[in-house]
Structure 1
Amino acid sequence: MNYDDVIIGGGHNGLVCAFYLAQAGRRVRVLERRHIVGGAAVTEEFHPGFRTSIASYTVSLLSPDVIRDMRLTERGLCIVERPFAGFVPYSDDRYLVLGGDPEKAQAQVRKFSEKDAEALPEYENMLSEVADVLRDIANKTPPNSGGGLRALLATAAQGYNLARLPVETQRNVLDLFTKSARSVLDSWFESDQVKGALGFDSVIGFYGSPDTPGSAYVLLHHFFGEVNGKRGAWGHAIGGMGAITAKMAQACVDVGVEISLNSPVCKVLVDNKRVSGVALESGEVVLGRTVVANVGPKLLYERLIEPQALSKPFRRAMSGFQTGCGSFRMNVALKELPQFTCLPGDGDHHRAAVFIAPSLDYMDRAYRDAREFGWSREPVIDMMLPSAVDPSLAPAGSHVAAIFCQQFASHLPDGRSWDDAREDAADTVIETINRYAPNFRDSIIARQILSPLDLERIFGLVDGDIMHGAMSLDQLWAARPLLGHADYRGPIRNLFMCGAGTHPGGGVTGLPGRNAAREVVRGW
């Protein structure tokens, strides 16, 4: 059977793209290499009785338009808002709670600085205003360099919306899109603890320092989402992230999408300078009028397409596309909840994200460590305890910790493989958490380790890059993945891209898939 659209990869963006294409009356087939749909947004058992979102682990950026159009809530998706955004323990028995009730948040910051407490509401309003700009841009196809009149009009339209903003907002947009997180935060706050807590998101999924230009944008990127209509909030999908993609798959099937599991693609077929379909590792050939790739640009152009099908300038440009976000994931089965020295007992802090990174200097050292040694001796850690919100994930009385760690090099400087270093790196993570919660190490029943190499092997994330490509200034908006291909179209006729390597980038948003579907339909 010939299809209108063949989609490589059944991750969330591939499913979103497939849904909109099928809704437009097209014959669509999704090819997923694993035994389960969802890509990196899946829920799996990693130890008998213990389930978790093994890769992507929290909800905020998922587009409300996608939720509405795919009727995910009506299909049973339940997202529970976390009581506050983050809990930051310190080694001196103090702590800071972020988000939640504005007055309580100010009171938390006041423990460290009266001046910073007064500045907090204005800073959050500023972030919210700029996030509105990002939301508007994220839902649109970027202007494509060399795209003629249409690209010119798109540039003018998106530029006009920005030009209409007050000049102060324009300055803030420029700062957050170009400066380092430290530079921005230094202009607002004085406390090292407050700046560290507010700057934590600037290095999540970003192999760099909070001193790196562009890290302020990474901070902003994690702020533009919402949960149940509340902007800037974070949540947990009951049943884990796999509940989201399972409901997406239901929506796809309901509009006629064919989903094939255990169907790894080994080659994109090119005939007379246009794609004609794909070949599977099984030997099956699937023909389609278009091929839409929900895999990273590096994987698509350097492993799935024969070099002679691409121009030499394009191959050279793609060789410079940067991957590697410095991420290291662990899932841990626990006998009990961590007991933090600074805040013992059970409480709402167990239902928030636990940020272990007490200052911007700590984050900077972690990055410099990774550059020199391969991973940080004191890693940046974002720990969720999803079973504290969703008891279905663990046996009664037990818990699951989803640990996301930052500043781990994709390739170790001494030439060792991550297969040889993963246990040592995991021990470093455990010991770091144990310094803040002394019962943590002894409460471990089992652990699952996902090094950058594991993330590549299991999920096809080249260099373990959860964003499908660095979220650096030269790889955003009209330059994502490359100038001339920001409109979701590849360099070969009828080839499209719909993954996180396209605008607006990484995170479980569904926006690359939604935007790409619009361009595929427009292309025909």
Structure 2
Amino acid sequence: MTKRYDAVIIGAGHNGLTCAFYLAQAGLKVRIVERRNVVGGAAVTEEFHPGFRNSVASYTVSLLQPKVIRDMRLEDHGYRVIERPISNFLPQEDGDYLKLGGGLERTQAEFRKFSEHDANVLPDYYDALETVAEVLRGLALKSPPNVGEGFRTLIDGALQGRGLAKLTLSQKRDVLDLFTKSARSFLDSWFESEAVKAAFGFDAVVGNYASPDTPGSAYVLLHHVFGEVNGKKGAWGHSVGGMGQITQIMAKVCEACGVEISLESPVAQVLVDGEKAAGVRLESGEEIAASRVIANVGPRLLYDRLVAPSDLTLEFRRRMKGFKAGSGTFRMNVALSELPNFTCLPGVGEHHQSGIILAPTLDYMDEAFLDAKRYGWSKKPIVEMLIPSTVDPTLAPEGQHVASLFCQQFAPELPDGRSWDDEREAAADCIIDTVEAHAPGFRASVIARQIHSPLDLERKFGLIGGDIMHGNMSLDQLWSARPVLGHGSYRGPIKGLYMCGAGTHPGGGVTGAPGHNCAQVVIGDKGGYGRFL
């Protein structure tokens, strides 16, 4: 007799694991099928050179929902995050530098090197951002109103809009600015120093193939301040053992709840019977029967490759054809014989434990994007470097280090028919040269490197166009419109088909929120009350 499941989840990334946990807690029989030979999706740790380990794609922690951490009891199983002493360190082209974080007074003192005005206005800026972020945090663990459901849509919209309704007129203006303006336009209204604007503007281009001048890029800036580390809002940190430690713990928790996890089990097709999802067929030919199919993959991968066109309406297919994906991200890990020595701040210091941002101005970031549009990748890329071995010695041999290089802007598809297979090494060299310009001797310290171009990210992790967010975080692809209006509540266009990945609300990052919310919807549809949710 064929074994049947209440739910089969495609993809063992962190959202799939989170969703599986809540479903299992509610009594459902759940199986996860994962294409790779390891759980974690893009949140994995790998040894990329003998003795050197690091997070491969996702590389830092802040956005993981505290409720998910508590409910899954991750800390009981070894989850530990070390907070950065300062948030970011930005070398400047004139030989100066700016440090961001470490407390309000420290940051104000840094800002005074560049602008007394910017130091004075900083508390008000933080308050404005935090007020909006707090309202949106309240929406992160709720299913958006699903447009098209009549009175229910109105009720859900009214209930979720209460937080916004309580804001003052000035605060509502901040909301409008953050959702519609470019990062530059928003920051220009607050600050005068180019270094200060760059310090905040960097978040607007993380995983965003766009210029800081692109309308809507201010929202991406806001998205990156939603999180917290160890109860401190807006902080970022390092997961001891790398990002893979988080998902390995999640997998153990899931299995203890009865979830079955099948590795090396790539899905070929979502099975549909009588206009209802009926399970999946693996590439091996095995068919898995399930009452519900839950996709923890991006919308483009799901609807372009795993669902037969005949099972979708022409209108839905047209809408999904317009779904934008491609984050312009190039990801590299390097093994180092020594720490980089920065010309603007020589010696070893707390800046080595921060996010090292090589993008001194918004103009620099804009030019990086324009370069990528013209040539495929920027000759002066935006680089964020983290050196997690400075706080986690398990990642590298004694006296040596590993560094994460998260880089923008690199076109998802190169112009003129060129392939990333032919250009990945040259792009990696360019990134190394960018660091070398600020820290002479860096190139010589590189023992080995692990390269992931946008095409590599797609092949390895199923991130279409190398999109770490599973789809652009633009106004037309947020909240009830993520991935498309009418299907913003984690329910797909086929009965019994659900979505729990970053291509749904609230979007990208290691949050666990889409997995949590999707499970809530599934249990509600089943007729349960989701007491664990």
Task: Give the structure-2-normalised TM-score.
Answer: 0.98
Cα separation, 1, equivalents of 2:424 and 2:163: 47
Deviations 1:55-89 (A, max 9, x none): 00000000000000000011111111110110001
Q: Hey, what's the Cα distance between the residues in 2 that align with 1:256 and 1:166? A: 48
> 1:479-494, aligned counterparts within 5 Å?
479-494=481-496
Distance 2:99 2:132 in 1: 23
What is the identity, as a one-letter code, of the residue corresponding to 2:195?
Q
Counterpart amino acid of residue 363 in structure 1: M
SS of the aligned residue for 2:292 comes to: strand
Q: For 1:304-383, what aligned pairs fall within 5 Å after superposition?
A: 304-383=306-385
Q: Which residue of 1 aligns with 2:251?
A: 249
* Alignment partner, residue 530 of structure 2: none
Alpha-carbon shift at residue 168 of structure 1 (Å): 1.4
Match of 1:3? 5
Q: Which residue of 2 aligns with 1:199?
A: 201
The answer to whether structure 1 residue 261 and structure 2 residue 263 are counterparts is: yes
- Aligned twin of 1:32: 34
* Alpha-carbon shift at residue 198 of structure 1 (Å): 1.2
Aligned to 1:105: 107
Which amino acid in 1 is paired with 2:366? D
Question: What secondary structure does 1:414 align onto?
Answer: helix
Match of 2:226 among 224, 234, 258: 224
Corresponding residue number in structure 2 for 1:84: 86
Shift of 1:161: 2.2
- By how many angstroms is 1:250 displaced? 1.2
**CA distances 1:454-481 after superposition (whole Å, capped 9, x unpaired):** 0000000011000001111111111100
2:391 alignment partner in structure 1: 389
Aligned pairs for 1:63-74 (under 5 A) are 63-74=65-76
Structure 1: gaps of 5 or more residues: none
Which of the residues 293, 296, 299 maps onto 1:297? 299
Q: Which amino acid aligns with 1:189?
A: F
Cα separation, 2, equivalents of 1:271 and 1:28: 20
Q: Which secondary structure state, in structure 1, belongs to the residue aligned with residue 8 of structure 2?
A: strand
Distance in 1 separating the partners of 2:124 and 2:153: 36
Query: Who is 1:516 aligned against?
Result: 518
1:439: how far off? Answer: 1.4
Is residue 121 from structure 1 mapped to residue 123 from structure 2 by the alignment? Answer: yes
Name the SS for the 2:448 alignment partner.
strand
Q: Secondary structure at the match of 2:417?
A: coil
Aligned to 2:529: none
Deviation, structure 1 residue 383: 0.6
- Superposition deviation, residue 160 in structure 1: 2.4
Structure 2 spans left out of the alignment, 5+ residues: 527-533
Q: Partners of 1:438 and 1:124 in 2: how far apart?
A: 35
SS at match of 2:493: coil
**How many Å separate the matches in 2 of 1:219 and 1:242?**
26
Which deviations, in whole Å up to 9, do the C-alpha atoms of 1:420-468 show, x marking residues without a partner?
0101111110001100011110100001110000000000001100000
Distance across 2 between alignment mates of 1:271 and 1:302: 19
Q: CA separation in 2, counterparts of 1:437 and 1:91?
A: 12
The DSSP-based 3-state class of the residue aligned with 1:406 is strand
Q: CA deviation at 1:264?
A: 0.7
Deviations 1:383-409 (A, max 9, x none): 100101101000111100100001100
Please report how far the alpha carbon of residue 291 of structure 1 lies from its aligned counterpart in structure 2 after TM superposition: 0.2
Q: Which amino acid aligns with 1:512?
A: P
How far is the alpha carbon of 1:148 from its aligned partner? 2.2
Provide the rounded CA distance (Å) in 2 between the counterparts of 1:91 and 1:181.
21
CA RMSD between the two structures? 0.7
Distance 2:137 2:466 in 1: 27
Matches of 2:490 and 2:149, distance apart in 1: 12
Deviation at 1:174, TM superposition (A): 1.1
CA distance in 2, matches of 1:279, 1:304: 10
2:97 partner letter: Y
The Cα offsets for residues 5-48 of structure 1, whole Å up to 9 and x where unpaired, read as 00000000000000000000000001111111000000010111
> Out of 406, 410, 413, which is 1:411 matched to?
413
Does the residue aligned with 1:74 lie in a helix, a strand or coil? helix
**Aligned counterpart for 1:17 among listed residues 16, 19, 31:** 19
Aligned equivalent of 1:181, options 180, 183, 186: 183
- Matches of 1:439 and 1:398 in 2, distance apart? 15
Instruction: Confirm or deny that 1:135 pairs with 2:137.
Output: yes
* Separation (CA, whole Å) in 1 of partners of 2:91 and 2:79: 32
Aligned to 1:172: 174
TM-score by length of 1: 0.99
Amino acid aligned to 2:280: V
| Matched residue, 1:432 | 434
1:280-301 per-position Cα deviation (integer Å, ceiling 9, x unaligned) = 1111111100000000001000
**Residue 503 (structure 2) aligned to one of 498, 501, 505:** 501
Q: Hey, what's the Cα distance between the residues in 1 that align with 2:202 and 2:290?
A: 44
Of 25, 37, 59 in structure 2, the residue corresponding to residue 57 of structure 1 is 59
What is the alpha-carbon distance in structure 2 between the residues aligned to residue 444 and residue 275 of structure 1? 50
Instruction: State the one-letter code of the partner of 1:387.
Output: S
User: Equivalent residue for 1:477?
Assistant: 479
What is the CA–CA distance in structure 2 between the aligned matches of 1:159 and 1:63, rounded to whole Å? Answer: 21
Alpha-carbon distance, 1:149 to partner:
2.1
Deviation at 1:169, TM superposition (A): 1.2
Secondary structure in structure 2 of the residue aligned to 1:59 = coil
Residue 145 in structure 1 maps to residue 147 in structure 2: yes
In 1, the alpha carbon distance for the partners of 2:96 and 2:331 equals 27
Partner Cα distance (1:388, 1:56) in 2: 18
> Structure 1 residue 91: deviation in Å?
2.6
Question: 1:136-182: per-residue Cα shift (whole Å, max 9, x none)?
Answer: 11111111110122221111112222111122111111111111111
Identity %: 65
Structure 1 distance, partners of 2:279, 2:352, is 48
Q: Deviations over 1:118-153 (max 9, x none)?
A: 111111111111110110111111111101222211
Give 1:333's aligned amino acid.
A
Aligned residue pairs, count: 524
